[in-house]
């Protein structure tokens, strides 16, 4: 008898399949429901250099945004800025987006 997968197991399986695919990878807060250790491993895989593969990551986590080559800052459905995270970080409104992500500054 097969036991059903938990939500976390299903999420990890879906991410593993996505990483293996030869396509544009779009992830929307993909690590939001994972335990800290698994989140760290997946974030490392997401942000590592993968032969020039394009990844589009939607996040509210400062640590994930900080590893991106380029950040598209969306505000009220409009593109507010397109720049590296370190440049955007000088704007207090941008920093406010990450105010409740639980990561110490």
Q: Model confidence over 53-62: pLDDT tens digits?
A: 677 778 877 8
Q: Does domain 7-97 have CATH number 3.40.50.300?
A: yes
CA distances from 20 to 5, 35, 37, 96, 100 (A): 20, 22, 21, 34, 32
| pLDDT score, position 9 | 72
Domain ranges within the chain, ordered by starting residue: 7-97
What is the average pLDDT across 72-88? 92
| pLDDT score, position 38 | 75
pTM exceeding the 0.85 threshold for the entire prediction: no
**3 state SS for the chain:** CCCCCCHHHHHHHHHHHHHHCCCCEEEECCCCCCCHHHHHHHHHHHHCCCCCCCEEEECCCHHHHHCCCCEEEEECCEEEEEECHHHHCCCHHHHHHCCCCCCCC
**Largest separation between any pair of C-alpha atoms in the chain:** 56
Q: Model confidence over 6-46: pLDDT tens digits?
A: 776 776 677 666 666 666 666 666 666 677 787 777 777 76
């Amino acid at each position: 008898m097969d036991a059903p997968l938990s939500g976390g197991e299903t999420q990890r399986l879906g991410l593993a399949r996505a990483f293996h695919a030869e396509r544009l990878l779009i992830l929307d807060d993909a690590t939001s429901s994972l335990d800290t250790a698994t989140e760290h491993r997946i974030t490392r895989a997401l942000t590592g250099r993968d032969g020039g593969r394009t990844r589009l990551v939607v996040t509210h986590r400062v640590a994930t945004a900080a590893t991106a080559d380029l950040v598209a800052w969306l505000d009220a459905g409009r593109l507010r800025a397109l720049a590296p995270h370190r440049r955007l970080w000088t704007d207090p409104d941008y920093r406010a987006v990450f105010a409740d992500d639980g990561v110490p500054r």
